[in-house]
Structure 1
Amino acid sequence: MSAIPLLWLPDSALLDARTAEPVARYVQQWASEWFAAARPCLPPRWEKLAHGPATLGFALHHEGRGFRLAVHEEGRLALGSQLLGRTLAEHDLRTPQDRALIEGLVGKALASLGSLLDNVLPQDNSPDGFALPVTSADGELLLRIEAGAGLLALLARGWAGSGRKRAPLSPRSAAMGPQPLRLGARLGSSRLALAEIETLEIGDVLTLDTPLAAPLDALIDDVPNASGALALVPGESGIQLQLTRPATQW
C-alpha cells in the first residue's frame, strides 16, 4: 500500500487574509453579474467550521472539487432579494409558483457560482473544516462556502511562492572521505545437488556461471554495488581487478 503525501500548512497560513482574497474576488465577480442590489460582503479570512448547532439549517446546493456551497434556510429569501433587487418576505410568496420561481432563480445563481469556482480554484478532495460566509450589505447571511485544509493550503501556496532552494548535496561529506571500505568482486556461482557436493574431492574443478570475458559485479563491504564494473586480469602477483566503469558511475 502506498501513501499519498498531503500538502500541509499551519493555521496561520490557512487563515491569512491572502488565502481568502482569491475566493472573495471571484464571488464579487459573480455578484456583479447576478446581483441587482449592492455587492455582498465577505470576512477578511476563512473561519474554522464548527460542527454542532451552528451548522444546522444549512442545505447543500453545490459540491465542487474541494468546496461546497451551502445556503441557510433563512438565507434563501435574502439571496433572492439580492438577485431581484427588492426585499422579499414570506408573505410575498403567495403561491407555489412564486416559491418555485425564487427557488429556481437561487438555484441557477448558485450553479453559476459553483461553475466559476470549479474552473478557477485548485482541486482538492475534502471540503470539510473551514467556511467563508457571504452576507448582504445589511449583514444577512446569504450563503456559505465550505472548504478543507487541502484547498486552503493550495491557495496559500499561491501567495507564499515557491520554497527556498537549498544547495545541492555533495555525493558525500568530506568527513567520510577517509572512511576505509573493502572492495571486492563476485566471480560467479555454480549449482550442485547435495549428493554431488558430498562427493567432491581435492583436485575437482567447479565451473562457474560467469564467462571469462564477462565483467564482474563490484562489492563494497560485501554488498553488491554495481553490475559489470570490474574485470579480472592476470598479474605478476596473482589475479587483479580492472575497472570497466569509473566509481562515480556505480
Structure 2
Amino acid sequence: MTQSLRQVWQYRGLIGNFANREIKGKYKGSLLGGAWALINPLATLATYSLVFGFILRFPTPTAGNGSLTSFPVYLFTALVVWNFFYAVTTSGMGALVGAGPLLRKIHFPPYAPVFGSALAVLNQTAIEFGLLFVVYLVVLNLSWTILMVPVLLLLLSAFALGLGLLLSIANARFRDVNYIVTVVLGLLFYASPIIYPITLVTDMYAAHPWLQVYEYNPITSFVEAFRDVLWHLRFPGLGRLAYLTVVSLGVLALGWTVFQRKSADVSEEL
C-alpha cells in the first residue's frame, strides 16, 4: 500500500493536469461558464423542494436547534452528498475510456485520468458545500460536530473512488456497463433517504423486519451521518462511523487491486 501511495504521489502533476483539463472542458463554450456549477445544484434543489416539500409534502424532522423544519435545507444536505458520490463514481467510470486515445500514444499510469476526474469533482463539491455552510450559518447554529465533515467526506471519497476504479475497468471491457450503472444509480437514489426522512422506512420495521437491510446501504449511512453532524448537531455514532470506515476502505482497496491487475490488459483494448 505504501508503494502504491508513493506511485500515485509521483504522478501527482499528471493527475492534476487531467483534473484541470476536465474542469476547463466541462463548461467550455457555454455562455455562463463556471456559473453552471452553482446553477445546476440550485435548480435541482428547487425542483425537489417543490415536488417533495410542497406538493407531496414529506415530513421534515426538527433540526438540532429544536425549531428549524426547513425541507429545502434538509434536502440540500443530502443532495450535496449524493451529487458528490454520483459524480465521482460516474466520472471515474468513464475516465479510462475517455483517455483511451491518449493511452495508445503516450505511456502513463491508467489510474491518472480516474484520479484526475475525482479531483475535478472535488472542485464542484467545494462550491456546493460552501453554499451549504453559508445556509447553515444563516438558519442554524453549527456545533463542534462540523469537524466531522472532512472525515466523512474523506470516507465518501474513498468509497466512490473505489467504485469508480472498479466500474472503469468493467466499462472499458463492456460498454453496456455505463447504461446499467445509470439505471442502478437511479434506483439507489430513491432507495436512500435523500428526498425523504429515514423514519418513513424505519417505522415499517415492525411490520416488515426484512426492511432493516435498508440501513446497510452505504449511501443511507453516509446521508444519515452527514445529516447527524449538520442538521441534528450530534455525533453520528461509533457504530455507523466504524461501518463506513470498513466499507469505504474495503471498497477502495478492492477497486485499486482490481484496477492495478486489469488496467494493463484493458488499455490495449481501448
Higher helix share: 2
Structure with the larger RCO, 1 or 2 (CA within 8 Å, 6+ apart): 2
Name which one, 1 or 2, has greater alpha-carbon Rg.
1
TM-score by length of 1: 0.25
With the length of structure 2 as denominator, give the TM-score of the two structures: 0.24
More strand by share: 1
